[in-house]
Amino acid sequence: MGAERTVAGGYRDVHRRSLRDREDFWLHAARCVDWDRMPGQALDDSAAPIHRWFPDGSLNLSRNCLDRHLEAGRGAQVALIHDSAVTGTVRSYTYAELTEEVARAAGMLAGLGVGAGDRVIIYLPMIPQAPIAMLACARLGAVHSVVFGGFAAQELASRIDDSSADVVLTASGGIEPSRRVEYLPTVAEAISLAQHPVREVVVQHRDGFSHSMADVAGDSTARWQDWERLSAQATPAGPVSVAATDPLYILYTSGTTGRPKGVVQDQGGTAVALSWSMSAVFDVGPGQTMLTASDVGWVVGHSYIVYGPLLVGATTVLYEGKPVGTPDAGAFWRMVEEHRISALFTAPTALRAIRKADPEAALVGDHDISSLQHLFAAGERLDPDTQRWIGEALGVPVIDNWWQTETGWPIAANPVGIEPLPIKEGSATLPMAGYDVVILGADGQELPPGEEGNIALRLPMPPGTLPTLWGDDQRYIDSYLSAFPGFYATGDSGCLDEDGYLFVMGRTDDVINVAGHRLSTGAIEAAVASHPAVAECAVIGVADDLKGQRAAGYVVLKTGYERDPELLREELTDLVRRTIGPVADFKDVAVVPGLPKTRSGKILRRTMRQIADGEEPQVPSTIEDRAVLDELVPVLRRSR
């Protein structure tokens, strides 16, 4: 049994209408949201190329995710299941309980002076307080910015500064299979590194961590308080009506420079687009259960752990654990059985890790997975071999979907909730509603089917996509809208086939994707270059069988610096870990005599990557000294 169908017509008809009759299409889609003021207009293009959606609408997203389901009689239905493989606990919250928790957390924030438009940093592991905090901000119209726990203090500090958040919500720490990650020293360090003064820190206590608030609060300018004590005293807060165009959240993501981009998503567009996608793309509706095995620190977590499932009255599983090793490669299948999951969403890396640990998929057979209808994969390229393997093991369609932090929901997918389309291996299938996907050559000309080029989206993009970067419209325009006027440049390359199916090949810029985590090689280079022995360096993403890509660094030492290569590797690894975080997983370092450059001094990273990956390298005619590249070839080949 699929979700309640809210999308009428076949895929081609739906997609055509979404582009041709834009106003009607999105105003109709907007009806599945409870508005305080129903919008009378869908698109506002008065400030093009910056577009806004539902300019005259107002609503509250927390109310849409919670209270309205109580009113519809779903109060006793489970809304959230926290399944923690690392602590061996499972805890469920009904819609009534979750609403109460969120209202109390919102009251706690209001008591700290947080109101509509104020920014709140959420630095939490995968515990219920993470979605509760997000929904509590949404309840007040405050803007949350969730920071992934695998980032170090410097990254946290840069997000505090860019968002100028006064309040940080955190916990004692996160639990990785091999170690406890102490959050409090990181938060304290970030606060001292940040220029912007954080006023309040609220800490959810977890047992088993060595640092307490008392250890760090003394040296801090911020006031540190205990979450449970504060929320117990708080007066529950009701939902505040906000404009559809108001920001819901800022999510920082890696760009080509070391400075992360503060992607903004708004209230109304997010509500409408995620509701639409839950039905059309994921085929999940009221009463069904979805497990999105990502992290709330990524966009996939924002959209499909928290907002999407709750908007449509489904049950969402918040999984604290890994696909393998907690305790084994059957973790997902156990949860499918235990929670009767119908939609499972994960990253291809996780599937490859499961395959490595359980090549025959024997652990699938230990569980009753009959509730599972679809497996969704995104975050990086899904290789056909893995897609075939897992599809055969589970006996359900494996749906690749392609999108980005910036777009908030799938650009291309197989719309199984409208009409399941034939799957072509290696393709993310077809554009979703409102996305007009084209392939452009370097000169901006549209390329015919079969030719690879820059994947671009004709403006306007649909609701639920970024209206801008936080506080920086110009950076938004420069970063995404200037390369091809009239289009949003995705930064990915690929091609369309004769049937319009999209094949995504990889990035056109210096962004890499390590285990589904988007990282900037520029940021890693900046960390490596800060080592006193390093004269210059290049970091590239080389193909990795498990993680899709991994970061590899090539460093030129300053004259006179002698370093034991192993010691240097350890120092640089540690430096990146401390500056960016363990998530960068930076381990490969090679000392080289020189780096290949163009005559204008640009390092030929793309050529280096092509050599490392065993591809035919494209060597620009502007190369300064071919001998430098030739000398590097054997080193690069060893990187694979």
Site string for ligand AMP, 224-263 (x = CB under 6 A): -----------------------------x----------
- Cross-strand partners of 504: 494
Among 308, 379, 541, 548, binds ligand COA (CB under 6 A): 379
Query: What, of ligand AMP, ligand COA, none, does residue 507 touch, CB below 5 to 8 Å by kind?
Result: ligand AMP
Cα separation of 419 and 422, whole Å? 10
Give the span between the Cα atoms of 160 and 341, in whole angstroms. Answer: 37
By CB under 6 A, name the one of 347, 433, 591, 629 that touches ligand COA: 347
Residues 282-301 that bind ligand COA (CB under 6 A): 293-295, 298, 300
> Cα angle at 442 between 429 and 257, to 5 degrees?
85
> Least distance from C-beta 406 to ligand AMP, angstroms?
7
Question: Which entry of ligand COA, ligand AMP, none binds 350, CB below 5 to 8 A by partner kind?
Answer: ligand COA
Of 219-227, 342-350, 402-410, 615-623, which segment contacts ligand COA by CB under 6 A? Answer: 342-350
- Give the residue, chosen from 129, 349, 468, 479, that forms a contact with ligand COA under the rule CB under 6 A: 349
Q: Which one of ligand AMP, ligand COA, none interacts with residue 544, CB within 5 to 8 A by kind?
A: none
x-or-dash pattern for ligand COA, window 461-500, by CB under 6 A? ----------------------------------------
- Could you tell me which stretch among 42-50, 77-85, 151-159, 486-494 binds ligand AMP (CB under 6 A)? 486-494
Q: Choose one: 5-13, 68-76, 192-200, 396-404; the region binding ligand AMP (CB under 6 A).
A: 396-404
Taking CB under 6 A as the criterion, which residues in 396-435 touch ligand COA?
Answer: none
Q: Are 27 and 42 in contact (CB under 8 A)?
A: yes
One of 70, 146, 428, 608 touching ligand AMP (CB under 6 A): 428
Q: What are the angstrom distances between the C-alpha of 468 and each of 94, 379, 489, 491?
A: 35, 22, 14, 16
Binding footprint of ligand COA, residue count (CB under 6 A) = 24
d(CA 319, CA 293): 6
Cβ 317 vs Cβ 339: under 8 Å: yes
Among 378, 526, 537, 589, the residue binding ligand AMP under the rule CB under 6 A is 378
* 299 touches ligand AMP by CB under 6 A: yes
Helix axes 626-639, 605-612, angle to 10 degrees: 40
- CA separation for the pair 174, 127 (Å, rounded): 9
Which of 265, 246, 508, 287 lies closest to 409 in space, CA to CA? Answer: 265
**Rounded Cα gap, residues 152 and 189, in angstroms:** 9
Q: Which of 381, 531, 577, 597 binds ligand AMP (CB under 6 A)?
A: 381
- Choose between 405 and 465: whose C-beta lies nearer to ligand AMP: 405
Closer Cβ to ligand AMP, 362 or 546, answer by number? 546
Residues sharing a CB contact under 8 Å with residue 557, sequence separation 6 or more, in sequence order? 533, 534, 535, 563, 591
Q: Is 513 in the site for ligand AMP (CB under 6 A)?
A: yes
Closest CA to 495 of 549, 441, 421: 441
Do residues 126 and 296 make contact, with C-beta atoms less than 8 angstroms apart?
yes
Question: Least Å distance between CB 606 and ligand AMP?
Answer: 15
Using CB under 6 A as the binding rule, whether residue 62 contacts ligand AMP is answered as no
If the CB atoms of residues 178 and 600 are measured against ligand COA, the closer one turns out to be 178
204 binds ligand AMP (CB under 6 A): no
Q: Tokens representing 514?
A: 């390590």
The verdict on 129 binding ligand COA (CB under 6 A) reads no
Partner interacting with residue 476 (select from ligand COA, ligand AMP, none; CB below 5-8 Å by kind): none
- Residue 404 makes contact with ligand AMP by CB under 6 A: yes
> Which of ligand COA, ligand AMP, none lies near 492, with the C-beta cut-off 5 to 8 A by kind?
ligand AMP
Stretch 5-64 residues interacting with ligand COA (CB under 6 A): none
Judged by beta carbon distances under 5 to 8 A according to partner kind, the member of ligand COA, ligand AMP, none in contact with residue 181 is: ligand COA
- DSSP letter string over 221-241? SSEEEEHHHHHHHPPP-PPPP
According to DSSP, the residues that pair with 589 across neighbouring strands are: 553
Query: What are the φ/ψ torsions at residue 507 (nearest 5 degrees)?
Result: -85, 155
Stretch that binds ligand COA, among 41-49, 316-324, 453-461, 623-631 (CB under 6 A): 316-324
Q: Is 492 in the site for ligand AMP (CB under 6 A)?
A: yes
Give the DSSP per-residue string, 550-576.
EEEEEEEEPTT----HHHHHHHHHHHH
Cβ 301 to ligand COA, closest distance in Å?
8
Residue 352 touching ligand AMP (CB under 6 A): no
Q: Which residues contact 513 (CB under 8 A, 6 or more apart)?
A: 379, 380, 507, 519, 541, 548, 549
Q: How far apart are CA 502 and CA 424, in angstroms?
A: 10
Neighbouring-strand partners of residue 374: 343
Report what 432 binds from ligand AMP, ligand COA, none; CB cut-off 5-8 Å by kind.
Answer: none
What distance in Å separates the CA atoms of residue 317 and residue 294, rounded to the nearest whole number?
A: 11
Does 510 contact ligand COA by CB under 6 A?
A: no
> What is the sign of the dihedral through the CA atoms of 613, 615, 620 and 621?
positive
- Given 323, 491, 494, 522, the residue binding ligand COA (CB under 6 A): 323
Q: Which are the contacts of 22, defined by CB distance < 8 A and separation ≥ 6?
A: 42, 43, 434, 460
- Residue from 172, 405, 454, 639 touching ligand AMP (CB under 6 A): that is 405
Indicate the SS3 state at residue 110: helix
Phi, psi of 78 (to 5 degrees): -70, 130
What is the x/- site pattern for ligand COA, positions 176-215, by CB under 6 A? Answer: x-x--x----------------------------------
Say whether residue 454 binds ligand AMP (CB under 6 A).
no
For residue 513, the partner it binds in ligand AMP, ligand COA, none, with Cβ less than 5 to 8 A by kind, is ligand AMP
The residue among 460 and 541 lying less far from ligand COA, judged by its C-beta, is 541
Q: Is the dihedral of CA 89, 95, 96, 98 positive or negative?
A: positive
Task: Report in angstroms the alpha-carbon separations of 83 from 3, 301, 312, 618.
Answer: 24, 15, 21, 48
Beta bridge partners of 549: 543
400 belongs to the binding site for ligand AMP (CB under 6 A): yes
Measured between alpha carbons, how far is 202 from 185 in angstroms, rounded to an integer? 14
Name the site residues for ligand AMP (rule: CB under 6 A).
253, 299, 378-382, 400-402, 404-405, 428, 490-492, 504, 507, 513, 518
Name the site residues for ligand COA (rule: CB under 6 A).
149-150, 174, 176, 178, 181, 293-295, 298, 300, 322-324, 347, 349-350, 353, 379, 515-516, 582-583, 585
